[in-house]
């Protein structure tokens, strides 16, 4: 890929994210997401999915899953509102490290050892799809596992894990990891941002 193509792709992605932030602010402005708004958002995401932007791809997967039965139920509406508030940058919502006190992330954050260590991702990651995250782990010599066990080394919380995690579908994994950690199992719970920094990604 030549430098012009790379630069042009970055400009397109930047414009898309700017537009997505604007859409997110508009949809979340009244403190609720209705069916029509979710369908409009899905249509926009479908039109812009060819950029390979992981935020757009992940959000499209999320919204498409919610609308799979053609009904946006109250729980899905609340979760989507939370995600859109994070994207739009509401002061109380954006940045997992800013609100890590409500998430059971290790403090201090540990140095990560990748070679031979077992990793599990939960929640939605900004880096990319679950497969892309798992491929990155394998490239670094780590091992992906399918569930929380006593042999798990690191549970990575995706950027879109909200502070209401206990009520989300991924909350059980986090609870189980917290229980193991509290009982002395050497299991670390880290943010996606910390994982990215440690991995040099």
Query: pLDDT by residue (tens digit) across 15-26?
Result: 777 788 888 888
DSSP for 32-95? ---HHHHHHHHHHHHHTGGG--HHHHHHHHHHHHHTTTS---HHHHHHHHHHHHHHHT-TTTS-
Query: What is the pLDDT, as a whole number, of residue 51?
Result: 65
In this predicted structure, the answer to whether residue 48 has a pLDDT above a threshold of 80 is: yes
Q: What are the pLDDT digits (tens) for 63-83?
A: 998 898 999 988 888 889 888
- Extract the tokens encoding 5: 């193509």
- Beta carbons within 8 Å of 68's beta carbon, 6+ residues apart: none
Give the chain's domain count.
2
For the question of whether the overall pTM of this predicted structure is more than 0.85, the answer is no
Out of 59, 88, 117, pick the residue that ends a domain.
88
**Same domain, yes or no, for 45 and 138?**
no
* Domain identity same for 83 and 123: no
The domain that holds 132 is classified in CATH as 3.40.50.10190
Select from 34, 58, 88 the last residue of a domain.
88
Residues 72, 109, single domain; the answer is: no
pLDDT in tens, 95-106: 333 333 467 889
Q: Are residues 150 and 186 in the same domain?
A: yes
Averaged confidence pLDDT in the chain: 80
| 137 in Cβ contact with 119 (< 8 Å) | yes
* Domain residue limits at 109: 97-199
């Amino acid at each position: 890929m030549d430098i012009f193509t790379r630069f042009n792709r970055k400009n397109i992605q930047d414009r898309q994210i700017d537009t997505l932030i604007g859409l997110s602010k508009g949809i979340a402005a009244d403190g609720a997401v209705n069916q029509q708004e979710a369908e409009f958002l899905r249509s926009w995401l479908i039109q812009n999915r060819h950029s390979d932007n992981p935020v757009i791809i992940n959000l499209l997967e999320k919204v498409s899953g919610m609308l799979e039965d053609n009904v946006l139920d109250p729980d899905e509406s609340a979760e989507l509102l939370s995600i859109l508030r994070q994207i739009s940058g509401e002061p109380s919502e954006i940045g997992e490290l800013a609100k890590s006190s409500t998430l059971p992330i290790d403090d201090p954050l540990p140095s990560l050892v990748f070679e031979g260590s077992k990793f599990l991702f939960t929640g939605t990651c900004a880096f990319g799809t679950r497969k892309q995250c798992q491929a990155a782990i394998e490239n670094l010599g780590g091992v992906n596992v399918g569930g929380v066990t006593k042999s798990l080394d690191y549970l990575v919380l995706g950027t879109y894990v909200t502070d209401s995690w206990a009520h989300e579908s991924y909350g059980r994994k986090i609870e189980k990891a917290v229980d193991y950690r509290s009982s002395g199992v050497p299991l670390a719970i880290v943010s996606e941002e910390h994982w990215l920094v440690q991995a040099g990604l």
